[in-house]
Chain A
Amino acid sequence: MRGIISIRNVWHHYGIRPILKNVSLEIEHGKLVVIMGPNGMGKSTLLGLIGGAMYPIRGEIEVDGKIRRSSIEAEQAIRKQMVYLPDTPFLPPLLTGQEFILSVARLYGVDSLDAMKHAETLLEVFDLKEKADSPIASYSTGQQKKLGLCSALLTEAPILVLDEPFSGGLDSAALLAMSKILKMLAKREDVTIVMAVPVPELVEPLADKVVILADGEIIAYDTPAAIKQQAGGSISLAEALEKLAHPDRISNIGKYLEERSL
């Protein structure tokens, strides 16, 4: 079945070492797909390629039947329906939080009145209402992270590509709010979410499917239950990830603990 996002034989290098090696992936419409894997294995690169901030050295990325950067029309159509929020976006420090998120909403053609109402609710949900009229420069890292998430949600784009939405100093209330919002969005059939999350505990209740990337290759792509099954049955997703992504690590940890206790 052809997905809304098709990644075909993608290779990517920044320098000499390949970051992604012949990656192919089909992401179905209306699903929430989480990319997991150890640090430096290409999660952010893959999201950057899907999001359009990067271009693969080899291979192609198709979104809703249009290949990224194949033509002006195709690229424009993709940009209209996809929002990409990297791990560390640059938020305009001179603008207030509210001004910024409304500015992003305008880029996606969201009706001004709807955007204002939605913005107000989102700012309240993420506990940013008091800071809404302050310049972003005065926001803490966590507050900036929240604001970035608000901006992405405000676009109402049918495809959300989020790089580590739960990291960057989010407080527990924001984590809860974000996972609830994502859960709600995941239930909608018209919204597709692709995100990188390093914490398996947050992934399990949310993800329709999980991609495990290691050494630039996809080593597993399935539902969380199936991945756990693949890794050996009744274990947690974190253990499954460890077993699949770097089987040596568990024994290394054991060895270390053994050494220290001696």
Chain B
Amino acid sequence: MRKRPYFLKNFPPLWISILFLLIFWVSYFWDMGMNHPGKSYHGIRMVLICGGAAFFAFRRVFGFFPYPAGAYGKWLALTPWRYGMQMPKGPIQLNLTDVVIVGALCLFTQLDKKLSPAVPLMIFLYIYIFTAVFSTVLGIDPTKYWRKRILILIIAPLAFYPEPSIQNALLALTACYVLCYLYLRDVLKDYPWNTISWLVKQDEVLTFQSMKLPMSGWPYCVLASEKQNPFRIKNKAVNTIVFSVLLVWWLHASLSLFCSFKAGSGLLVAVIMLFAIFTIVLRMVLLKTGTASPISFWGRIFNGYFIIPRHDQIFVAPLLIIAILILAVTSMPDSGRGTIFLTDLSVFAILMIGMFCPPRIRQWFNTGAFRFVKNKTQEKQLGQIANQKNVLNKPIKEILLGK
């Protein structure tokens, strides 16, 4: 079998290319030949073009990056491959073949002229960049290479903010691609990586598993002392703030895209409400799962323990979030740019309260005034699974002896 030249290794598999062209051209010539208006198959062609761009983008990352847990990554680890050498499966960074394929998809849009020629390019670049930058963290130290990722997250919304335009989109995505290229270069330069599977000892993995209910039961799982995570994220507070700012920035850009400033503020109130409910529910689930108040409601009333500060502190954040929600709803103007800014500000405040308002999870589970209670649902589920598997798991000797 003849080997493909290196620059063509990223060309899609031949059968997929032929199938794509076949469906595309058959539908096109069918439309040309039938010539009955109103019954065109251009929709199929649009889906094919956009879907093709998306598929190709995903394939360019997932098919060509040596993820440490994947077969390609595991195989590459056994070879003397280092950065600077050609990658055995083909390049992960874009090359002329990608330009030709995406360019062809852009040209195909001109047959029907129902789609802007920039659309397949934008779909391809968005998916490629985001997949490359965020999926390649799998198995590699997650605390590294974050600067370029953040820059990409800052620049990417400029493709459609303040106004969606092809020029803005191309400019922003080009800048993102340059960063993505540099990011992939940095990642590959560090090969062989200190992968998680190499750094974490089997004992540590088992110990982490032991802290879960299905491994050590109750109360061992809740009363176990904490174990050091080998990948501790430093400056958690800074990371949290950066994450919140980025989320609000994306929200702002997306809302500017979808909301007309002249329209009523109903959608924006709904967005704030959604964030508020999500944050409250998430916080309460995280803090209340497996814990209960040290005393019942009636016990509190009859014994005068109306407020137990070290327990009731968990209600402070939800109350603050509700206050922000009420404040935002009552002071929301009917229209204007201010509505979106007020939404941004409210969402940011909700996120900050959700993440920083005491008690933090670790603080709560070590110092909170609560009772650890059994998680009945999980125990029941485990019991049911056990009943189904019980006989199968029994040693053969026991089954034969009828024990």
Binds A, one of B188-196, B207-215, B330-338: B207-215
A107 touches B210 (CB 8 A): yes
Partner of B386, one of A13, A76, A79, A94: A94
- Report the bound CA distance from A134 to B215 in whole Å: 15
B387 touches A137 (CB 8 A): yes
CB distance from B348 to the nearest CB of A (A): 28
Binds A, one of B94-102, B110-118, B179-187, B218-226: B218-226
Partner of A84, one of B223, B374, B394, B395: B223
A75 touches B366 (CB 8 A): yes
Tell yes or no: A40 within 8 A of B by CB.
Answer: no
B216 touches A104 (CB 8 A): yes
Contacts A13-B295, A54-B371, A75-B367 hold; do A90 and B213 have CB atoms under 8 A apart? yes
B224 touches A79 (CB 8 A): yes
Tell yes or no: B294 within 8 A of A by CB.
Answer: yes
Tell yes or no: B379 within 8 A of A by CB.
Answer: yes
Tell yes or no: B298 within 8 A of A by CB.
Answer: yes
- Report the bound CA distance from A89 to B210 in whole Å: 16
Partner of A55, one of B206, B217, B370, B387: B370
Interface residue SS majority, chain B:
helix
Partner of A80, one of B225, B308, B385: B225
Tell yes or no: A167 within 8 A of B by CB.
Answer: no
- Report the bound CA distance from A55 to B295 in whole Å: 10
A16 touches B206 (CB 8 A): no
Chain B: which residue is nearest A58 at the CB level? B305
Contacts A13-B295, A94-B382 hold; do A52 and B223 have CB atoms under 8 A apart? yes
A92 touches B294 (CB 8 A): no
- Report the bound CA distance from A135 to B217 in whole Å: 13
- Report the bound CA distance from A104 to B367 in whole Å: 23
CB distance from A89 to the nearest CB of B (A): 6
Tell yes or no: A133 within 8 A of B by CB.
Answer: yes
A107 touches B295 (CB 8 A): no
Partner of A93, one of B362, B374, B382, B398: B382
- Which chain A residues border B210 with CB–CB below 8 Å? 103-104, 106-107
B379 touches A90 (CB 8 A): yes
A14 touches B218 (CB 8 A): no
CB distance from A68 to the nearest CB of B (A): 9
Tell yes or no: B389 within 8 A of A by CB.
Answer: yes
A72 touches B363 (CB 8 A): yes
A137 touches B223 (CB 8 A): no
- Which chain B residues border A14 with CB–CB below 8 Å? 295-296, 299
- Report the bound CA distance from A79 to B220 in whole Å: 10
A15 touches B298 (CB 8 A): yes
Tell yes or no: B302 within 8 A of A by CB.
Answer: yes
Tell yes or no: A57 within 8 A of B by CB.
Answer: yes
- Which chain B residues border A13 with CB–CB below 8 Å? 295, 299, 303
Tell yes or no: A251 within 8 A of B by CB.
Answer: no
Tell yes or no: B235 within 8 A of A by CB.
Answer: no
CB distance from B370 to the nearest CB of A (A): 6
- Which chain B residues border A15 with CB–CB below 8 Å? 295-296, 298-299
**Contact digits for B285-303, partner A, Cβ 8 Å, 1 yes 0 no:** 0000000001110110011
Partner of B218, one of A12, A55, A75, A90: A90
Contacts A13-B303, A57-B295 hold; do A107 and B216 have CB atoms under 8 A apart? yes
Tell yes or no: B58 within 8 A of A by CB.
Answer: no
- Report the bound CA distance from A100 to B222 in whole Å: 15
By size class, the interface of chain B is: 35 or more
Tell yes or no: B393 within 8 A of A by CB.
Answer: yes
- Report the bound CA distance from A234 to B46 in whole Å: 98
- Report the bound CA distance from A75 to B390 in whole Å: 38
CB distance from A85 to the nearest CB of B (A): 8
A134 touches B305 (CB 8 A): no
Chain B: which residue is nearest A76 at the CB level? B225
B389 touches A94 (CB 8 A): yes
B394 touches A135 (CB 8 A): yes
Tell yes or no: A23 within 8 A of B by CB.
Answer: no
Chain B: which residue is nearest A147 at the CB level? B217
Contacts A14-B296, A54-B294 hold; do A106 and B218 have CB atoms under 8 A apart? no
CB distance from A44 to the nearest CB of B (A): 12
- Which chain A residues border B223 with CB–CB below 8 Å? 51-53, 79, 84
Tell yes or no: A112 within 8 A of B by CB.
Answer: yes
Tell yes or no: A71 within 8 A of B by CB.
Answer: yes
B352-400 at interface with A (beta carbon < 8 Å) = 362-363, 366-372, 374, 379, 382-383, 385-387, 389-390, 393-395, 398
- Report the bound CA distance from A107 to B299 in whole Å: 35
- Which chain A residues border B383 with CB–CB below 8 Å? 93, 137
A98-144 at interface with B (beta carbon < 8 Å) = 100, 103-104, 106-107, 112, 130, 133-138
- Report the bound CA distance from A23 to B371 in whole Å: 19
**Contact digits for A138-155, partner B, Cβ 8 Å, 1 yes 0 no:** 100000000000010000
A107 touches B386 (CB 8 A): no
CB distance from A229 to the nearest CB of B (A): 37
CB distance from B394 to the nearest CB of A (A): 6
- Report the bound CA distance from A61 to B112 in whole Å: 78
A11-61 at interface with B (beta carbon < 8 Å) = 12-16, 18, 48, 51-57
B220 touches A104 (CB 8 A): yes
- Which chain A residues border B219 with CB–CB below 8 Å? 51, 53, 84, 86, 89
Chain A: which residue is nearest B385 at the CB level? A94
B389 touches A69 (CB 8 A): no
Pairs A-B, 4 closest by C-beta atoms? A93-B386, A137-B386, A90-B218, A79-B225
Task: Give residues in A with beta carbon < 8 Å to B.
Answer: 12-16, 18, 48, 51-57, 69-72, 75-76, 79-80, 84, 86, 89-96, 100, 103-104, 106-107, 112, 130, 133-138, 151
16 contacts between A and B (CB under 8 A): A16-B296, A56-B294, A57-B295, A79-B224, A79-B225, A86-B219, A91-B217, A92-B216, A93-B386, A94-B214, A95-B214, A100-B217, A103-B209, A106-B210, A107-B220, A137-B383
